[in-house]
Every structure is written in structure tokens, then in C-alpha cells.
């Protein structure tokens, strides 16, 4: 049976969740303080690039099952279940999480909760936040103890967000009562019917599952990038090493791609916030290794800049560098903590003439780094380049023909910062090729 659902916050997580809830058959209102975003969404358009999202929005805005508003009063009056999907970025000047948007959402919604409702937090938060928010809610909601809080972390990946919402690997429900779990099981009835594993637990465990998962993924990436550093020192090949490791089923091959490392709005800030929170709780040493994970990751960015310098014979000053990619990974326009843009900005600061091209993220990148130059096409970016850096492995870049590209550049030099190209093929086409953690082809 359809429930009346609201989704507070319509960023990468909330917009997809709102559309996903409508697809599961519910009546949904998405809420955001940004009026322009709300207008865009109400027109059935996605305010950012996410494959598959726009058709879903258009379908359900069209069917009348999904609408967006800036009014918390409307949301409070409407919803049986309210999903909290606002951002929890890194706090400026600290490594901890900035919870101001979560607190503001609770404060804006609570006074309008006149009848029983369940608030389900989806945002990634430091463990203990749910308990604090429950008290805040109880103090401010007119319906008081009839308003409950649960934690239901989200594991979607940008670029696959629709798929991950409708067909997640698992559902985790952190609840204080069986009744609240039953409400969320109704919300996800179709997902559960499809056989999705379900873990019902307490709120702190649910909060922790999310940061533990992201920390594990970050650790796996930094592990293979640490191996890349050793391979560089030993003259070995991390791509072949990773392949050999992956056949061990206990290790597996996913998230074992060495390269420029992880970025985005989640992994980097989550490992930092997790370390900070563990220390606050008295588990000072438990997550020390995550600092190393972070450092290995950041060193890969410097490595790419060093490889560019090496290919240019020692100095990047005045060199024309084409950076292919600005998004933190392919299939998104998200440039938050993007390794690609970090490399581009560092080269620019060191005096290179950097031209960036990304198939989807040019506009977001230009808003963040207006001093860099942006090209509308890859061909335009590489025209006359002294060196090319492949920084985000979009398919249109990894499928480039080295012979054709060779005719457009000034010098055939490439840093494959994502190990996404066939080194021998590029060397055969006359390119000086440098990968990450692998010897240069001869
Ligand atoms: C990540 C998690 O994968 C999701 O499960 C989680 O829900 C999400 O954060 C979140 O907390 O909201 P996402 O940030 O979309 O998802 O990106 P990932 O696909 O995890 O990639 C993160 C970074 O790792 C990218 O920069 C990617 O290029 C890099 N990466 C990934 C590698 O360098 N090597 C790999 O082998 C895999």
C-alpha cells in the first residue's frame, strides 16, 4: 500500500531517493530550501547529471506521484515517513562532519509534525547523531513521543544511483522499536520482495555500518595505491599485481584499481569524520590507519604532477597541459574533492597552461576553479598540448585512438593517471606513456 513520504534535501542522494520512492509506488514530496532546484525538479528535470534519473523524475512528476516544495509546513502535514537526505560535508577548518544542515532540517520540520510520523535519517553522520537528533525532535515536535526517529543509511554510488536505490545490495534499518522497523519494511516492501538482504539493528550500529563500509572501500583503494608506490620503487607492475590478487575470492577485484585515488563528496570526508568521532568517543587509536589511508591517497595526486614534470624534462612552467576529466569519477558531474581538478589546479599554480575538458563536469569545475581554462571538446583541449593527463576514466577518453590523438598534440606524452589505457598500444603509436605503479613501456 502506498505511503505518504517526504524527502528532505534534494541533492545527489535526496533527488534520487525521492524519485526511487515514487517508483516503488509511494506518494512523495521532495523538500529543499533552494527554490531554483525545486522548480527544476518540478519540471521533471534533474538539477545534476545522473544516468537514469531524469526519465524517472519526468515519469513520476508527470503521474502526479512526485512533487517538490520549499515548504516544511506542507511536508510536515503530508508525510507518514520523512527521509532526511541533507548533506554532511567536512567542517571548514576541521576534519569532523558539519551537521548544521541535519540540525536545520530537524528544526525546520519538527514544529510541523502534528501527528504520528517516522523520521528516517539517510545522511552519513557520526555515530551518536541519531540519539542526539531524537532528543531534539522530541523537544520540538508538537506530536512529541508519537514522532519517532530511525536510521536507514544509504549506500548508493553516484553514476549508478538509480540502480542502487531500486536494487540495493542490502537494507540496513536502525530502529528503537519493532513498529518502526515494520513501517520501513512497508516503505521498501518491493525491494524486500526481490530478496534484498535486510539487517535490522539499533541506531548506532546503523550509523556505523555506513562509515565502516566507506572506510573499508577507501582502505582497499589506498592499499592498492600503496602497492603502486612499492611497484614504482621496485620496477613492478601494480595492474598485474592487482589482477593476480583479485583471483583470491577472499580479496576480490573490486575497488582494487590503482591510479589517482579516491575523491568525491563521500569517501574522503567520511574517513576524516570517522577518525575524529572515534577519538571523541575515546577510541583514539582504533582508526589511526585511516590517516595513512588518507595520506596514501593524497600522495597519488602529487605523483601525477611529478610524472608530468618528468615527461616535460623537469619543469612544467609554461607547458601546455591538457587534463582530460574534471569529475571525481566517470558518469557524474560531481567535482567535490576531485583528484582530477586537484591535479589541474596544482599544475596551473606551478605555471602550466592547463586546459581541462570533462564531458559533463566542465560547468561545475569552472564554478570551483574559474582561473583554469575549459574546452568544450577533448580535441580542443589537446590541440597543441605538450602533455596530456588522463585524469577521469570516461569511456570517451579510454577509447581514444592514440594515432589520431597523436596528430592533434604538439608532443606525444601522456600520463594515464587511472591506468585506463593499454601502455604498449600508446607506446607503439609513438607516445611517451606513464602509468601509475607500472613501468613505462619500452
Ligand atoms: C561512495 C560509496 O561507494 C557508496 O557506497 C556510498 O553510498 C557513497 O560513497 C556515499 O557515501 O554516499 P561514490 O562517492 O559515488 O560512492 O564513489 P565510488 O564509486 O565509491 O568512488 C570513489 C572514488 O574512488 C572515485 O574517485 C573513484 O575514482 C575511486 N576509485 C574507485 C579508485 O580510485 N579505485 C577503485 O578501484 C575504485
Q: Please report the pLDDT score of residue 442 as a whole number.
A: 85
Q: Please report the pLDDT score of residue 252 as a whole number.
A: 97
Q: Is the CB of 49 under 6 A from ligand 1?
A: no
Q: Which of 92-96, 271-275, 417-421 is predicted least confidently?
A: 92-96
**Residue 231 pLDDT class (50, 70, 90 cuts):** very high
Q: Is the CB of 289 under 6 A from ligand 1?
A: no
Return the CATH number of 211-293, one of 1.10.1040.10, 1.10.645.10, 1.20.58.100, 3.40.50.970.
1.10.1040.10
* Shared fold status for 4-201 and 301-434: yes
Distance CA 308, CA 344 (A): 11
Cell of 132: 542526539
Backbone Cα Rg of the chain: 23
Q: What pairs with residue 416 in β-bridges?
A: 390
pLDDT (tens digit per residue) in 305-333: 999 999 999 999 999 999 999 999 999 99
The reply, when asked if residue 140 is annotated as ligand binding, is no
Q: Is the CB of 256 under 6 A from ligand 1?
A: yes
User: Which atom of ligand 1 sits closest to the CA of residue 159?
Assistant: 15
| C-alpha closest to that of 119 among 75, 155, 87 | 75
| From 13, 86, 158, mutation site for ligand 1 pocket: most ligand atoms within 8 A of C-beta | 158
pLDDT (tens digit per residue) in 48-91: 999 999 999 999 999 999 999 999 999 999 999 999 999 999 99
Centroid of ligand 1 to alpha carbon of 214 (angstroms): 8
Q: What pairs with residue 97 in β-bridges?
A: 90
Q: Is the CB of 271 under 6 A from ligand 1?
A: no
**Residue 94 burial (CB < 10 Å; 0-12/13-18/19+)?**
exposed
Residues 414 and 433 sit within 8 Å (Cβ to Cβ): yes
Determine which residue's CA is closest to atom 17 belonging to ligand 1.
157
Q: Is the CB of 156 under 6 A from ligand 1?
A: yes
Distance CA 425, CA 69 (A): 53
| C-alpha closest to that of 261 among 209, 233, 302 | 302
pLDDT (tens digit per residue) in 131-146: 999 999 988 878 778 9
**Residue 246 pLDDT class (50, 70, 90 cuts):** very high
Three-state SS annotation for 263-293: CCCCHHHHHHHHHHHHHHCCCCCCCHHHHHH
Distance CA 430, CA 428 (A): 5
Q: What pairs with residue 69 in β-bridges?
A: 31
- Sign of the torsion angle spanned by Cα atoms 297, 301, 306, 312: positive
CATH architecture of the domain covering 4-201: 3-Layer(aba) Sandwich (3.40)
pTM, rounded to two decimals: 0.97
* pLDDT at residue 281 greater than cutoff 90: yes
- Sign of the torsion angle spanned by Cα atoms 280, 283, 285, 286: negative
pLDDT (tens digit per residue) in 348-372: 999 999 999 999 999 999 999 999 9
User: Which atom of ligand 1 sits closest to the CA of residue 258?
Assistant: 34
* pLDDT at residue 341 greater than cutoff 80: yes
* ipTM rounded to 2 decimals: 0.98
The reply, when asked if residue 291 is annotated as ligand binding, is no
Domain ranges, ordered by start, for the chain = 4-201, 211-293, 301-434
In CATH, 301-434 is 3.40.50.920: no
Instruction: Quote the strand ranges of 40-107, DSSP E.
Output: 66-69, 81-84
Q: Please report the pLDDT score of residue 397 as a whole number.
A: 98
Amino acid at each position: 500500500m502506498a505511503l505518504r513520504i517526504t524527502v528532505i534535501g534534494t541533492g545527489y542522494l535526496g533527488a534520487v531517493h525521492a524519485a526511487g520512492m515514487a517508483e516503488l509506488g509511494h506518494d512523495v514530496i521532495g523538500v529543499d530550501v533552494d527554490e531554483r532546484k525545486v522548480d527544476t525538479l518540478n519540471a521533471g528535470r534533474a538539477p545534476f547529471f545522473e544516468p537514469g534519473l531524469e526519465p524517472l523524475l519526468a515519469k513520476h512528476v508527470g503521474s502526479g506521484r512526485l512533487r517538490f516544495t520549499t515548504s516544511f509546513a506542507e511536508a510536515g502535514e503530508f508525510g507518514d515517513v520523512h527521509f532526511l537526505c541533507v548533506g554532511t560535508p567536512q567542517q571548514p577548518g576541521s576534519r569532523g562532519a558539519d551537521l548544521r544542515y541535519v540540525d536545520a532540517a530537524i528544526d525546520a520540520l519538527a514544529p510541523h509534525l502534528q501527528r504520528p510520523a517516522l523520521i528516517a535519517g539517510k545522511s552519513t553522520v557520526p555515530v551518536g547523531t541519531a540519539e542526539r537528533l531524537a532528543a531534539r525532535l522530541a523537544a520540538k515536535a508538537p506530536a512529541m513521543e508519537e514522532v519517532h526517529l530511525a536510521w536507514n543509511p544509504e549506500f548508493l554510488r553516484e553514476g549508478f544511483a538509480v540502480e542502487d536505490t531500486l536494487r540495493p545490495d542490502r537494507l540496513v534499518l536502525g530502529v528503537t522499536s519493532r513498529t518502526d522497523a515494520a513501517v520501513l519494511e512497508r516503505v521498501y516492501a518491493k525491494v524486500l520482495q526481490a530478496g534484498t538482504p535486510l539487517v535490522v539493528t539499533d541506531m548506532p550500529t546503523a550509523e556505523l555500518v555506513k562509515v565502516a563500509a566507506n572506510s573499508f572501500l577507501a582502505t582497499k583503494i589506498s592499499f592498492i595505491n600503496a602497492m603502486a608506490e612499492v611497484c614504482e620503487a621496485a620496477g613492478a607492475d601494480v595492474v598485474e599485481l592487482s589482477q593476480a590478487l583479485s583471483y583470491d575470492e577472499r580479496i576480490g577485484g573490486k575497488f582494487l584499481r590503482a591510479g589517482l585515488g579516491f575523491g568525491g563528496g563521500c569517501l574522503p570526508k567520511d574517513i576524516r569524520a570517522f577518525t575524529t568521532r572515534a577519538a571523541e568517543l575515546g577510541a583514539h587509536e582504533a582508526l589511526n590507519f585511516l590517516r595513512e589511508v588518507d595520506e596514501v591517497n593524497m600522495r597519488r595526486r602529487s605523483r601525477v604532477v611529478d610524472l608530468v614534470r618528468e615527461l616535460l624534462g623537469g619543469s612544467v612552467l609554461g607547458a601546455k597541459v591538457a587534463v582530460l576529466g574534471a569529475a571525481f569519477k566517470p558518469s557524474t558531474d560531481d567535482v567535490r574533492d576531485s583528484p582530477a581538478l586537484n591535479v589541474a589546479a596544482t599544475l596551473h599554480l606551478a605555471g602550466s597552461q592547463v586546459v581541462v575538458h570533462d564531458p559533463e563536469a566542465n560547468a561545475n569545475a569552472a564554478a570551483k576553479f574559474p582561473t583554469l581554462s575549459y574546452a568544450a571538446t577533448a580535441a580542443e583541449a589537446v590541440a597543441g598540448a605538450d602533455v596530456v593527463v588522463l585524469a577521469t576514466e570516461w569511456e570517451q577518453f579510454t577509447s581514444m585512438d592514440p594515432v589520431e590523438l597523436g596528430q592533434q598534440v604538439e608532443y606525444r606524452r601522456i600520463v594515464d593517471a587511472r591506468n585506463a589505457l593499454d601502455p604498449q598500444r600508446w607506446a607503439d603509436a609513438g607516445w611517451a606513456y606513464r602509468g601509475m605503479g607500472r613501468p613505462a613501456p619500452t
